[in-house]
Amino acid sequence: MASSASAGGYGLQSFTYEICPATDASTASGVNDTCESKSIAASDPTKSVELGSCEYVTDIDIEQAQLQGSWFWPRNPTSGRFFTYSSSTDKIEYIMAHQSHDNWCKMIRFEITLDSTTKKCSYKPLDAKYKTSPLSNSICLTQNEVINNFNSPTGTTALATTASAGGYGIKTLYYEVCAIEKAAPTTNVAVIEEPATCASGLELAGSPSDYVSMGACKSASDFKPEKIKYQGSWIGNQMSHSIVASNDGTYITAYQSTDNWCKMINFSVKEENGQCMYKPISSGYARSPYSASTCTGEDQINAHWNSRNVANYALSNGESGYGINTLYYELCTSSSADEVALPTNGNLVLRLGCGSPFKSFVGDVVSPKEIGAKLVTKSMSEDFDFKNALEMTEVSCGVYEINAKPKAGEEFGFFVFPKDGSSYPAKDIGCKNVAGDKCPVQSIPAPLAGAKCAPEVDYGTGALFYNRVFDGETFDYVWGNCETSCSSAPIECSAASAKLGLSNEKQQETVSFLRPETSTTTVIVAAACMCVVAAAFFVSFRTKKEEEGRQKFVTGAKTSYGAV
């Protein structure tokens, strides 16, 4: 792997990323980022280089890297194409990929690590490989392509430590440090969408002079571009994955050429009579140094387009200028968003009693009062991400409610997390075995993996998922198991009250085990029952069986539990 621009092979010269420390684990979706852009040069890329302070290894958000090594020509190209190769709680491995003009996919594997003691994140290049990849029909653009290339390479090369060293390596890393501010409290009305259905692997060849159909859709936002193959004598059949939304609502695809130009094409997508329609519009170019590309990212590409030189739109490879030869995309259709608001007595309820294994997933948390909870559905996040989940309201010790629900038949699950951010959020759905970035080791196995209430789902990614499915009728759940009618409180709730040194009378008032809407009569009955239990305690510990009977009575099936 090249350690310099003049070294043989190729490697990462520089590296762009951002650090987003999670200052509050209970942060809901819609957080505000305060980011500071930075860069760091690696004098010896074979050693770990500190990036800065971070709470989690996932706080690092990579932007781009400047590469080095004598196997690159022109020297010092930039790349913003990174894919997760493997992940754990304190380390993520990425593969950086560069499609070369001499028909190779040049790849560098590197790691981002977290020192849990110092709360510092670092990166280190690991190795370099290459795979035959025709420039005119690149297999060096998507995550599946790059990972497959890396696992079955044509060969390996040295890690370049200087521009003149053989192989290839990282010269400079560019990144951002982002502080996440605590979000405003969530409302009791959630916007829930129908789960998206995607048609992937679609392609449309040719350069139409007017709009042509790409397939059925409900809105133009159903269109998800993947990559574009160019045409024209000024560019040839180059491939580009850089496709951004323009300021006027159309799209711009951009390609960084070796002769220091950012070559761009503008095209439009609209919905008409239930069809997504596509039409190329025009071409242009702007100066962009190959060794320090400014032809990446939405802001840079839009800025270049706004000050572009006009180029001819090529309708064939033999025509001057450049145009679109083939558009690769997917269409993801979903119904329009609905506001889902349930009556007070129909809230979705999550409980931590009845054998919930929450204690095994939230670190050294003493009481459920120190734990938050969130609801996540497939329509909130395709990958059931914590940041997109809706925070639930704690109504009592170990009981959470939310005035929202999934659609009937929709996959969903629940997160629990320590409010002080001392450990990772944990969801009760997910995978049984480690499988790439979709099933990282820190979440394996999910509590509901293989459970009867979490049917097995195969998304075709090589990983099997076990998610809850909303039946439209069940509103009461226990985190981590299949119980739907729980009446026993977590033992930690009673322990927390006793620890406060309250009188028996005060404890009965506080740890009532009753939901807020329970009637006064029920409270009196419950109090009477508790008195009987207290009396029984002093006269019934003669045998083990009697003691077990007392414990069973204390957590009887006809009480529901409330707040500390």
Q: Using one digit for the tens of pLDDT, what is the confidence trace for 293-328?
A: 889 878 889 999 999 999 999 999 899 999 999 998
CA distance linking residue 468 with residue 267, whole number of Å = 41
pLDDT band at 247 (very low <50, low <70, confident <90, very high): low
CA distance linking residue 337 with residue 218, whole number of Å = 12
pLDDT band at 492 (very low <50, low <70, confident <90, very high): confident
pLDDT digits (tens, 9 = 90+) for 198-214: 787 788 887 788 899 99
Residue 263: pLDDT over 70: yes
With beta carbons less than 8 A apart as the criterion, state whether 413 and 467 touch.
Answer: yes
Q: Which residue has the higher pLDDT, 515 or 420?
A: 420
Amino acid 28: pLDDT: 36
Least confident of 337-351, 411-425, 452-466, 533-547: 533-547
Amino acid 277: pLDDT: 93
Amino acid 12: pLDDT: 59
Average pLDDT (505-515) is 34
Amino acid 131: pLDDT: 95
Average pLDDT (337-364) is 67
Residue 441: pLDDT over 50: yes
Amino acid 454: pLDDT: 92
DSSP, res 17: E
Amino acid 261: pLDDT: 94
CA distances from 348 to 158, 342, 397 (A): 56, 9, 16
Amino acid 230: pLDDT: 93
Amino acid 269: pLDDT: 93
Average pLDDT (485-510) is 51
Q: Which residue has the higher pLDDT, 169 or 81?
A: 169
* 372 three-class SS: strand
CA distance linking residue 216 with residue 273, whole number of Å = 9
Phi, psi of 553 (to 5 degrees): -70, -40
Q: Which residue has the higher pLDDT, 341 or 476?
A: 476
The mean pLDDT of the chain is 75
Average pLDDT (417-444) is 78
The structure's pTM equals 0.42
Residue 346: pLDDT over 90: no
Amino acid 35: pLDDT: 58
- CB-based burial label for 512 (10 Å; 0-12, 13-18, 19+): buried
Least confident of 95-99, 173-177, 197-201, 368-372: 173-177
Q: Which residues contact 552 (CB under 8 A, 6 or more apart)?
A: none
Amino acid 494: pLDDT: 62
Q: Which residues contact 179 (CB under 8 A, 6 or more apart)?
A: 20, 21, 23, 33, 34, 35
pLDDT band at 14 (very low <50, low <70, confident <90, very high): low
Average pLDDT (234-241) is 85
Show the CA angle centred on residue 411, arms to residues 410 and 412, nearest 5°. 115
Closest CA to 241 of 329, 134, 147: 329
pLDDT band at 347 (very low <50, low <70, confident <90, very high): confident
Average pLDDT (223-245) is 88
Q: Crossing angle, helix 544-554 and helix 520-539, to 10 degrees? A: 170
Amino acid 418: pLDDT: 85
Amino acid 364: pLDDT: 67
Percent with pLDDT over 90 in the chain: 22
Average pLDDT (445-463) is 82
Residue 246: pLDDT over 70: yes
Q: Which run of H or of E encompasses 464?
A: strand 464-466
pLDDT band at 163 (very low <50, low <70, confident <90, very high): confident
Q: Which residue has the higher pLDDT, 545 or 38?
A: 38
Average pLDDT (548-552) is 34
Q: Which residue has the higher pLDDT, 269 or 516?
A: 269
Residue 157: pLDDT over 80: yes
pLDDT digits (tens, 9 = 90+) for 82-137: 888 887 778 889 898 888 888 899 999 999 898 888 888 888 889 999 999 998 78
Average pLDDT (335-354) is 60
With beta carbons less than 8 A apart as the criterion, state whether 487 and 559 touch.
Answer: yes
Percent with pLDDT over 70 in the chain: 70
Residue 343: pLDDT over 60: no
Average pLDDT (3-25) is 55
DSSP, res 187: -
pLDDT band at 554 (very low <50, low <70, confident <90, very high): very low
DSSP 376-407: EETTT-TT--GGGSEEPEEEETTEEEES--PP
Closest CA to 487 of 495, 478, 479: 478
